Structure formats: structure tokens, C-alpha cells
A and B are shown apart, each in its own frame.
Chain A
Amino acid sequence: MSGQVSSGRLSKVFNIAKDALKMGLVLLVICVIAAGALAQVYSITKVIIDKNEAEAEKKKRRDVLPLAARFEEKEIDGKKYILGYDAEDKQVGSIFKAAPKGYSGPIKITVGVAPDHSVSAVIITKLDQTETPGLGTNIVKPKFLNQFKGKKGNEIKLKKDSGTIDAITAATISSRAVANGVKAGWEQYINDLGEKK
């Protein structure tokens, strides 16, 4: 009788083990197929994503310094600058980047500087920021960004902070972040590249 009980118990244990093994196998097979499919899709899309990003960067450089025919990267004390030259190898300006903290996350700004060291263009694309839709996102509009053209030093501040830049209605934090970011970057630029001329 005791033999019957233990053999019953044994087959129960055996059944549980069999079930567990089956479940594990099914899950394994599904995970392997999923991983394979994802690897495929990733390898295809990665190429396109990288290409898009490289092109966006190129377009930004061209938009900031339209006169430049070629660009040269230069690093001073760990800060990167991009120098633009025209077809006759004359320097037509430089580009620096800034990423001040906005209302919700960093705002990546691309700034062009003319040979006379005034700001020539400021570009922020939709992808460079994560501000509030409809309010803070208005910083990408030319109406706001064109105000920076030709400005220097203390002019690059909001009117509220005794500068010359009009803030966007109901988006003072985002506007101030951009203005102060451009100003800080510009001062750094003057420090690094300004004297020699």
C-alpha cells in the first residue's frame, strides 16, 4: 500500500516537471523567434535612422551658415566649434552648440556666428526640444529665432531681463532658456575664438 502511495506521488511530481518543461519550452521558442525578428528589423532601421540624423545635422549646418562651402571641426578646451569656409577658403563664420535646460528637458540649439562675432542665425528644430506643445514649442518658429540675428553680448537677453529679445507669450521659461543658452555659448565662443582676428 505504501508503494502505491509513493508511486502516485512520484507520477504527480513527474507530471508537474513535465508541465513546467513544456511551458518553459513554449516560452523559449516564442522568445527566440521574437528576438530574431527584432534583430532583423533593428539592423534594417538602424542604417536609416543614422542616415536621417547625419542629414539633419548637415542641413542644420547649411541653414546656419548658408555661405559656407565646407566645414571644419575644431575643439578648444573640450568645447566643439565648427568653422565654415566658402569656396575661396575664406572663413564665413563659425557654429557652436548649446543645450540649456528648458521647461521640460534640454533644448539643443545650433548657433551661427558671423565673422564680426555677432550672432548670424539660431536654429532649433522640432526634434531638438521637448517643450510644452503649443506654448514652449513656439521657440522653433522663425519669428522668435530671427530676433537673435546680429545681436551681441548683453543684447542677447529677454526684454524682461533688460535685453532685446521678445519672449513668447506664456512661454517665458522656454524663451529665457534659449536666450541665456545662446548668450552663455556666445560668451564662451568670444573667450575661445574671439581675440584673434
Chain B
Amino acid sequence: MNKWNVFVNGIMKENPVLVLVIGLCPALAVSGSANDAFGMGIAATFVLIASNILISAVRKFTPDQIRIPIFIVIISTFVTIVDYTMHAADPVLYANLGVFVPLIVVNCIILGRAEAFAYRNDVLSSILDGIGMGIGFTLTLTVLGAVREIIGNGTITLLNYELLNLGEGFKPALMFIMPPGAFLVLGFLIALNRLLIKRKG
């Protein structure tokens, strides 16, 4: 597989959330606003890239029988680093994401890519895979968050800026920022992604 394909794979054709349907727990739980969803996406992307690099780099010294504990140690180290850093840099985002920051440890996308890709490929490919999958995850979450936020709350916020506000006159459909809204919007996004892939052939 050439490097470019490795990179774009995660964005559409093998999008972790929309096609592989993994990593749904954070995707559904913290996508109530575009801001939180984007923050979660970036945090998971950082962990994904960093752990991909390290796992790929040590794959030659890793005894096969204990690779999973080693993956977990590496991944949880990066998650804890993200946890501390986010707490220091953006306390509001940290509070909004809550328990879902430490839970990145068990995000299937990260362990899945470690096992299925980084453990079997060189460092450069693993970085590209991490970036591609990370962009796919972040993009999906942000779109999911933006759609839910605009319908459910009448606003779109990103990086703590309010990009759009429909104002007091808009009556938001609260269901969209509640759990059922996440399933509904996700369903439509999966359909849309399928349609786009089909069109492209």
C-alpha cells in the first residue's frame, strides 16, 4: 500500500467511526457541542499518533506474547500526559470532557491501530496512519458535534469561539444534544459517507 493511500484511508474509505464503527463511546458521549467534540478528536489524535510511533519503533524488541500489555502501557502513558496537559491548558474543556479523557486508553481506535497497523509497519507509515485516522475521527466528531449543537442549542462553538448563534428567537430541539440525538445524527452521517464513497466509485 503506498504512503498516500495509508494517509487518506482513515478519512473516508476506512473512517474509524463511520465505516469501521469503532470508537463510538466518545463519539456519542462528547459530541454535544462542536467545541468538546473537536477537543476530544485532537486529544485522541495526539495519543494515536504518539503511540503509533512508539509501538512501531519498539516492535522489533517486543516479545509477541506480551505485546498487548506493552501497547497498553505506552497508550496509557500518552493518555495521562494529555490528561495533565489539558487540565493545565484548558480547564473548561477538561471539565466538559470529564471521564472521557482518561477513557481514551480504552478507545478501540487506538489499540486497534496499534495491533492492526503500527505493530506490523515502519514508523513513517505508522505516523501517516495515525494522522489519517486521527483526522477522520476528529472530522467526524466535529461535524457530529456541530450538527447536534446547531439544532439542539442554536449555536456552533469551536476553539471556545462562538462561530454562529441563531439567537433567542430560535427554539432548539433539545433532543439533539441528548443521547438520542447522537445516534440519529450519526446514522445520517454514516449514510452520507456511504453515498460519497459510492459516487466516487
A interface residues with partner B (beta carbon < 8 Å): 19, 22-23, 26-27, 30-31, 34, 37-38, 41-42, 45-46, 48-49, 52-53, 56, 126-127, 130, 132-135, 170
Q: 5 closest pairs, A vs B, by CB?
A: A48-B88, A34-B77, A45-B84, A45-B88, A134-B177
B107 within 8 A of A: no
Q: Other than A27-B70, A49-B88, A135-B174, give 15 A-B pairs with Cβ distance below 8 A.
A: A23-B65, A26-B66, A34-B74, A34-B76, A37-B77, A45-B84, A45-B87, A49-B87, A52-B88, A53-B91, A56-B91, A126-B95, A127-B95, A132-B178, A133-B96
CA of A68 to CA of B70, assembled, Å: 55
B197 within 8 A of A: no
Interface size class, chain B: 20 to 34
B interface residues with partner A (beta carbon < 8 Å): 32-33, 58, 61-63, 65-66, 69-70, 73-74, 76-77, 80-81, 84-85, 87-89, 91-92, 95-96, 98, 152-153, 172, 174, 177-178
On whether the beta carbons of B88 and A134 are closer than 8 Å, the reply is no
**Given A34-B74, A41-B85, A133-B177: A127 and B92 interface contact (C-beta under 8 Å):** yes
On whether the beta carbons of B88 and A30 are closer than 8 Å, the reply is no
On whether the beta carbons of B152 and A134 are closer than 8 Å, the reply is yes
Which residue of B has the minimal Cβ distance to A130? B98
Question: Could you say which residues of chain A place their CB within 8 Å of the CB of B92?
Answer: 126-127
CA of A56 to CA of B90, assembled, Å: 13
CA of A30 to CA of B58, assembled, Å: 10
Which residue of B has the minimal Cβ distance to A134? B177
On whether the beta carbons of B73 and A26 are closer than 8 Å, the reply is no
CA of A41 to CA of B73, assembled, Å: 16
**Given A22-B63, A52-B91, A134-B32: A30 and B74 interface contact (C-beta under 8 Å):** yes
